[in-house]
């Protein structure tokens, strides 16, 4: 089992865990906003919540960079002096692939869906008969629910790979 003894390595790991917390805020916070929009009947409030939800989505690139930088730091301090490369560790390669899917899903597909729904809700808010757009809204809401389900699953897989794979806990290393 590998034990990290370097101070900078511990610091990098510390900020990595903080960045992981930010991902939780993005995914669980985004889902909470989504849930509020689905249940809310007041068009004005729905439109307002949707704008906030899109603001959260804009944080994806920033959080992804934090994770990438601290993750690279972790890789560096984890493997320094061992002769090990990041691509030698299967769990890490798998984790990076799932990470890329998570980030693309969050920052590209999530923000496209968010933009469409915010525009639609704004339109519904300004119209005399907003019910004509109700089927489109239902379809967007359904796509969003699937989007968050996929994000939850990806996050669970990444956490699983990180804890079991890193060899600090019982498991493969
Ligand atoms: C959503 C994205 C990510 C999540 C949720 C995540 C989560 C975690 C967690 C929970 C740990 C265990 C920390 C510990 O036991 O101290 C960890 C460790 C680690 N992560 Fe990440 N991580 C993510 C992205 C990344 C990325 C992008 C990289 C690489 C560029 C990376 C590289 C590492 C490495 C090398 C370790 C092992 C550190 C060690 O051995 O102490 N992670 N990650």
Residue 171 included in any domain: no
Q: How many CB atoms lie within 10 A of CB 59?
A: 17
Residue 24 included in any domain: yes
- Asked whether the predicted pLDDT for residue 155 surpasses 90, the reply is yes
- Closest protein CA for atom 30 of ligand 1: 71
In angstroms, what is the span from residue 47 Cα to ligand 1's centroid? 36
Domain count, the chain: 1
Residue 34, pLDDT score: 97
Q: What is the pTM of this model?
A: 0.90
How far is 148 from 7, CA to CA, in rounded Å? 36
- pLDDT tens, position by position, 83-142: 888 888 999 999 999 999 999 999 999 999 999 999 999 999 888 777 888 999 999 999
* Contact between residue 29 and residue 56 where contact means Cβ atoms under 8 Å apart: yes
Residue 104 included in any domain: yes
Residue 1, pLDDT score: 47
Torsion sign, CA atoms 152, 159, 110, 38: positive
Residue 2 included in any domain: no
Residue 108 included in any domain: yes
Residue 48 included in any domain: yes
CA 108 to chain centre: 11
Token pair 């704008």: residue: 51
Residue 150 included in any domain: yes
How far is 92 from 51, CA to CA, in rounded Å? 36
- pLDDT tens, position by position, 16-57: 999 999 999 999 999 999 999 999 988 899 999 999 998 888
Around ligand 1, the residues with Cβ closer than 6 Å are 4, 13, 16-17, 20, 23, 67-68, 71-72, 74-75, 78, 92, 96, 99, 102, 158-159, 162-163, 166, 168
Residue 108, pLDDT score: 94
Domain encompassing residue 85:
7-165
Residue 58 included in any domain: yes
């Amino acid at each position: 089992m590998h034990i990290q003894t370097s101070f900078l390595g511990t610091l990098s790991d510390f900020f990595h865990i903080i960045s992981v917390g930010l991902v939780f805020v993005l995914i669980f916070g985004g889902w909470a906003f989504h849930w509020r929009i689905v249940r809310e009947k007041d068009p004005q409030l729905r439109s307002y919540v949707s704008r906030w939800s899109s603001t959260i989505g804009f944080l994806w690139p920033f959080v992804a960079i934090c994770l990438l930088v601290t993750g690279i730091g972790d890789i560096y301090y984890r493997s320094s002096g061992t002769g090990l490369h990041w691509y030698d560790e299967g769990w890490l390669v798998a984790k990076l692939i799932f990470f890329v899917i998570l980030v693309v899903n969050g920052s590209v597909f999530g923000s496209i869906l968010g933009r469409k729904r915010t525009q639609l809700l704004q339109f519904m808010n300004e119209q005399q008969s907003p019910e004509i757009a109700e089927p489109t809204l239902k379809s967007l809401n359904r796509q969003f629910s699937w989007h968050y389900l996929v994000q939850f699953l990806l996050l669970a897989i990444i956490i699983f790979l990180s804890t079991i794979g890193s060899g600090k806990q019982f498991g493969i290393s």
